[in-house]
Amino acid sequence: MKTIVAGNSQDEILQAAKILRTGGLVVFPTETVYGLGANALDGSAAGRIYAAKGRPSDNPLIVHLADPEQAKEYCFPTPLFEKLAARFMPGPLTVILPKKDCIPETVTGGLDTVGIRVPSHPTAKALLQACGLPIAAPSANLSTKPSPTRVEHAVRDLYGRVDMIIDGGPCIIGLESTIVKLTGEDSMTLLRPGGVTYEQLCEICRNVTVDKAVYSRLGDNEKAEAPGMKYRHYAPSAQVIVVEGPHEAVIRYIKQKSVAASCGVICFEEDKTCFSGPVFSLGSRLSTEQQAQKLFDCLRAIDGQKEIERVYAFMPETGGLGLAVMNRLVKAAGFIIEHVKEEE
């Protein structure tokens, strides 16, 4: 398939909108990560997303809208949805609600619910407005690879597999949206942490439960509330090991373990000089925003250095956006976490 790589001028957005209206696939930038979009009302167009990514057919797509007001056309919003929409939309929040019949099951992976999100990125907004459709879009990476935070990531994974890729520069947040499932009038489950934090959700809703899959690997017989959480994800070819413990002890431990040239380190900017081998900085230890922005780029850079077989990574702090950084990193590590203690 011929892929057009374009900028985000008005003409190029109109061209992309036309491709979407005629059943094609368009990669577009959002504030979280790049998305791979198709018409959410057309089951066969949405089916092409799964084929292009190599995505399992039971892993549903998020439906992007220009305005939260449109949600009632596609699902059954509740008063709690309205409260969330007023505070966080447009923005990096996906809300799971019972779907209406117009949303094909291909989009929802056979579920009777649909994930709704209203992106704030100007190019995503312009595209939604220009095509006049809801856009079904997962992240624009090949399945199991880290989500794309720069256009070159999406080009590497999807060139030749989609009709158009729109370059909108690097994504500001760098991790995928927060996903919540509403379970009552004042209760919800956080299925995936992201740019809207647990603490922010607690300001709106009294009972916010964090799903077990955020912290730990699900057992073979356990059902994932967000089907995507059960799949291997974000994993570079090298094995990733996350190390947790008092900061100085973690530095000493990783220093000892990472002497081989085939060992890399994912650390904070402040600690970079402690290690001699290939080092990938997540940005400042004090900035979860920087860590979120850089994590997927680091994981892709590791993939670019074929001699690296193993990578040791510092466990981030889990407050605010740190919960999302921790979740993606431990998933990249297949939940392999080593705990170190302070030396006697």
Q: Which does 111 bind (CB under 5 to 8 A by kind): ligand AMP, Mg ion, none?
A: ligand AMP
- Min dist CB 113 to ligand AMP, Å, is 4
- When CB distances are held under 5 to 8 angstroms depending on the partner's kind, the choice from ligand AMP, Mg ion, none that residue 179 binds is ligand AMP
Closest residue (Cβ) to ligand AMP? 228
Which one of ligand AMP, Mg ion, none is in contact with 108 (Cβ closer than 5 to 8 A by kind)? ligand AMP
| Under 8 Å between Cβ of 128 and 17 | no
Token pair in block for residue 191: 């299925």
Helix boundaries (H) for the chain: 10-21, 43-53, 71-74, 79-88, 105-108, 122-131, 151-158, 198-204, 247-257, 288-304, 322-332
Q: How far is the CB of 97 from ligand AMP (least distance, A)?
A: 8
| CA dist., res. 174 & res. 289, Å (int) | 9
Task: Choose between 228 and 236: whose C-beta lies nearer to ligand AMP.
Answer: 228
| 20 or 308: CB nearest ligand AMP | 20
Q: For residue 256, with 0-12 CB atoms within 10 Å meaning exposed, 13-18 middle and 19 or more buried, which class applies?
A: exposed
Nearer to ligand AMP, 29 or 138 (CB): 138
Instruction: Give residue number: closest CB to Mg ion.
Output: 139
Q: Which does 288 bind (CB under 5 to 8 A by kind): ligand AMP, Mg ion, none?
A: none
Footprint on residues 138-167 left by Mg ion (CB under 5 A) = 138-139
**Which residue from 134, 106, 95 is spatially nearest to 45, judged by alpha carbons?**
106
Q: Compute how many other C-beta atoms are within 10 angstroms of the C-beta atom of residue 54.
A: 13
The smaller minimum CB distance to ligand AMP, of residues 191 and 238, is found at: 191
Q: Which of 14, 7, 3, 37 is nearest to 126 (CA)?
A: 14
Which residues are at the interface with ligand AMP (CB under 6 A)? 59-60, 62, 96, 108, 111, 113-115, 138-139, 176, 179, 191, 226-229
The string of DSSP codes covering 77-133 is --HHHHHHHHHH-SSSEEEEEEBPTTS-HHHHTT-SEEEEE----HHHHHHHHHHTS
Binding window for Mg ion (CB under 5 A); candidates: 4-12, 135-143, 251-259, 275-283: 135-143
Q: Give the total residue count for the chain.
A: 344
Q: Which stretch binds Mg ion (CB under 5 A): 96-104, 136-144, 214-222, 287-295?
A: 136-144
Q: Please state, in angstroms and rounded to a whole number, the distance separating the CA atoms of residues 35 and 260.
A: 37
**Residue with Cβ nearer ligand AMP (108 or 293):** 108
Q: In terms of CB distance, is 98 or 246 closer to ligand AMP?
A: 98
| Tokens describing residue 71 | 């949600």
Q: Which is nearer to ligand AMP, 119 or 228 (CB)?
A: 228
Q: Residue 177 interacts with Mg ion (CB under 5 A)?
A: no
Binding-site ranges for Mg ion (CB under 5 A): 138-139
